Structure 1
Amino acid sequence: MRAAAPAIGLLLVLATSAFAQEPEVDCQKAETQMDLNICADREYQAADADLNKTYGKAIAAMRETDKELGDIDAAYVGAVEALKKAQRAWIGYRDGQCELAGFEARGGSMEPMLVSGCLAELTRKRTAELKELLEAQGN
Structure 2
Amino acid sequence: MRAAAPATGLLFILVGSAFAQEQPEVDCQKAVTQMDLNICADQEYQAADAELNKIYREAIAAMQETDKELGAIDVAYVGAVEALKKAQRAWIGYRDGQCELAGFEARGGSMEPMLVSGCLAELTRKRTAELKELLETAGN
Q: What TM-score comes out, normalization by structure 2 length?
A: 0.85
Shift of 1:20: 4.2
Distance 1:20 1:90 in 2: 26
Structure 2 residue aligned with 1:103: 104
Structure 2 residue aligned with 1:16: none
Do residues 56 (structure 1) and 57 (structure 2) align?
yes
Shift of 1:22: 1.7
Distance 1:73 1:20 in 2: 49
When residues 54 and 105 of structure 1 are mapped into structure 2, their CA distance, relative to the original with a 3 A threshold, is same
Amino acid at match of 1:45: Q
- Identity within the alignment, %: 88
Amino acid at match of 1:136: T
Q: CA RMSD in A?
A: 1.4
Structure 1 residue aligned with 2:31: 30
Secondary structure of the equivalent of 2:109?
A: coil
When residues 94 and 20 of structure 1 are mapped into structure 2, their CA distance, relative to the original with a 3 A threshold, is closer
How many residues are paired up?
122
Structure 2 residue aligned with 1:124: 125
Distance 1:137 1:23 in 2: 42
Distance 1:39 1:24 in 2: 10
What 5-or-longer segments of structure 1 have no aligned partner?
Answer: 1-18
Distance 1:138 1:64 in 2: 11
Cα displacement string for residues 13-39 of structure 1 (whole angstroms, at most 9, x for unaligned residues): xxxxxx943211000000000000000
Distance 2:117 2:100 in 1: 10
Structure 1 residue aligned with 2:45: 44
Radius of gyration: which is bigger? Answer: 1
Report matched runs for 1:77-116 at 5 Å.
77-116=78-117
Question: Which structure 1 residue ranges, 4+ long, deviate > 3 Å from structure 2?
Answer: none
When residues 52 and 20 of structure 1 are mapped into structure 2, their CA distance, relative to the original with a 3 A threshold, is closer
Secondary structure of the equivalent of 1:120?
A: helix
Structure 2 residue aligned with 1:8: none
Secondary structure of the equivalent of 2:94?
A: helix
When residues 62 and 20 of structure 1 are mapped into structure 2, their CA distance, relative to the original with a 3 A threshold, is closer
When residues 20 and 73 of structure 1 are mapped into structure 2, their CA distance, relative to the original with a 3 A threshold, is closer
